[in-house]
A = this chain, B = another copy of it.
Amino acid sequence: MTPSSGPDERVLLARAYLSAVVEPPAPALLRFVEEHGPVAAADLVAEGEVPRAVAGEVEARRTRVSGAMLLEQAQRCGTRLLGPEHGEWPAERMAALARATNMGLERLVAPVALWCRGAATEVLTERSVAVVGTRAATGYGENLAAELGYGLGVAGVGVISGAAYGIDGAAHRGALAGGGATVAVLACGPDRDYPAGHARLLGEVAERGLVLSEYAPGTPPRKHRFLVRNRLIAALAEGTVVVEAGLRSGAANTAATTDSLGHPVMAVPGPVSSANSAGCHELIRSSGGILVTGANEVLEVVLGAGEAPEAQHGAPQRSTDRLDGPAGRVCDSLHFDRPRHVEQLVPETGLPERTVLSCLAELEMSGFVSLGEEGWTRCKQ
């Protein structure tokens, strides 16, 4: 159970107990653990020897939780506990939560531990982007989320999402299809397949990525847990893309947290008539969200312009687009069928005769115009 690089059993037992004894977010407990270390903190909590602020967070459960039972339960469902003592702990990303807490955003406190189903914990410290959005997605939104997930997966960038129906599920599936790693962060214990219809998807995510949660095995999903969970999605990713979201939505909450953590918020536009795009448009309009239309643009934001594969910008040039200034004006004044003379072109273009003549010579050399017996005509390109 304990990997060679990990902490000893006493620390694991303490972290398991501490992670379940509170309902996150629990800023007072986290400060207490930092002060005393997990083992001493767990003992003090179990004995009720804690300051008033911590007592408020732990009183309800302190005699009802057993670290040993939770670790046993976790082992049965292929889940392991990850804490700051593990080498795989995403220390840098969790530090963003600590900074936010220190700035007064107590609800953004770091978790005491993470329960992980799946072995690919390295994905937690590799490059990654959160792709989130509404459960009630349109086909447009689901296709885009899948394409984004795929493009990020192909580029070797992890996709972090919440495993919900709609956008989240499509993003995870796209990432898997692109051969990338993906992380599902749950609002319930990592052993609960929630939503039930995504049981198989969660199995695949655990196999090739990671299903994780700060909620101990057995914890049921609850409405408020989704909002609390969102801070982990925002913190674990280097930036968040909102694909489709209404004006009031969990995705907008994840975006706001992403912004509070100093990471870039991106949003995909859609038809202005779609309520599912209204939240995205509002993020771009009022909250500094960056408009993105595909995976390349997301990579540009997260990796920086230099490292992202070059996006296809600019339409192909049409041949006569290269003509500007006087030559363009002369060319515009000629027809494909009816030949014209220089004497007509001078007043028509408003150019001096010598300019018209030199333009015609230039255009003829480039094959744009030709001189026939009855005058000048344009050539088909």
Residues of A within 8 A of B (CB): 21-23, 55-57, 59-61, 64, 140, 144, 222-224, 246-248, 268-273, 277-278, 281-282, 284-285, 290-294, 297, 313-315, 321, 324, 328-329, 332-333, 346-347, 349-353, 355-356
Interface pair B294/A272, CB less than 8 Å apart: yes
When all copies of this chain in the complex are counted, the total is: 2
Whole-angstrom CA separation of A269 from B57 in the bound complex? 46
Min CB gap A48→B, angstroms: 12
Interface pair A60/B223, CB less than 8 Å apart: no
Contacts of A272 in B (CB 8 A): 144, 268-270, 293-294
User: CB-nearest residue of chain B relative to A349?
Assistant: B23
User: CB-nearest residue of chain B relative to A223?
Assistant: B332
Whole-angstrom CA separation of A314 from B315 in the bound complex? 38
Whole-angstrom CA separation of A292 from B272 in the bound complex? 9
A284-B291, A290-B285, A353-B60 in contact; A328/B270 too (CB < 8 A)?
Answer: no
Interface pair B246/A315, CB less than 8 Å apart: yes
Contacts of A55 in B (CB 8 A): 352
Contacts of A21 in B (CB 8 A): 350
Min CB gap A167→B, angstroms: 14
Whole-angstrom CA separation of A294 from B278 in the bound complex? 11
A144-B272, A269-B281 in contact; A23/B351 too (CB < 8 A)?
Answer: yes
Min CB gap A381→B, angstroms: 14
Contacts of A270 in B (CB 8 A): 269-272
Contact of A247 among B291, B313, B333, B349 (CB under 8 A): B313
Besides A59-B352, A281-B293, 12 new A-B residue pairs in contact (Cβ under 8 A), listed by A number: A21-B350, A55-B352, A60-B346, A64-B347, A144-B272, A222-B329, A224-B329, A224-B332, A269-B277, A269-B281, A271-B271, A285-B291
Contacts of A140 in B (CB 8 A): 271, 273
Contacts of A277 in B (CB 8 A): 269
Contact of A352 among B56, B314, B333 (CB under 8 A): B56
User: CB-nearest residue of chain B relative to A351?
Assistant: B60
Min CB gap A113→B, angstroms: 16
Interface pair B347/A61, CB less than 8 Å apart: yes
Min CB gap A294→B, angstroms: 7
Whole-angstrom CA separation of A349 from B22 in the bound complex? 9
Contacts of A352 in B (CB 8 A): 55-56, 59-60
Whole-angstrom CA separation of A21 from B347 in the bound complex? 9
Contacts of A293 in B (CB 8 A): 272, 278, 281, 285
Interface pair B350/A247, CB less than 8 Å apart: no
Interface pair A297/B285, CB less than 8 Å apart: yes
Interface pair A223/B328, CB less than 8 Å apart: yes
Min CB gap A135→B, angstroms: 15
User: CB-nearest residue of chain B relative to A278?
Assistant: B293
Contacts of A59 in B (CB 8 A): 352-353
A269-B270, A291-B285, A293-B272 in contact; A350/B248 too (CB < 8 A)?
Answer: no
Whole-angstrom CA separation of A269 from B346 in the bound complex? 44
Min CB gap A271→B, angstroms: 6
Interface pair A281/B291, CB less than 8 Å apart: yes
Interface pair B222/A333, CB less than 8 Å apart: yes
Whole-angstrom CA separation of A297 from B324 in the bound complex? 36
Interface pair B23/A224, CB less than 8 Å apart: no
Most chain B CB atoms below 10 A, which of A22, A291, A324, A332: A291
User: CB-nearest residue of chain B relative to A57?
Assistant: B350
Interface CB pairs A-B, < 8 A, 24: A22-B350, A23-B350, A56-B352, A57-B350, A59-B353, A60-B346, A60-B347, A60-B356, A61-B350, A140-B271, A140-B273, A144-B272, A222-B329, A222-B332, A224-B328, A246-B315, A247-B313, A247-B315, A268-B272, A269-B270, A270-B270, A271-B271, A272-B293, A291-B291
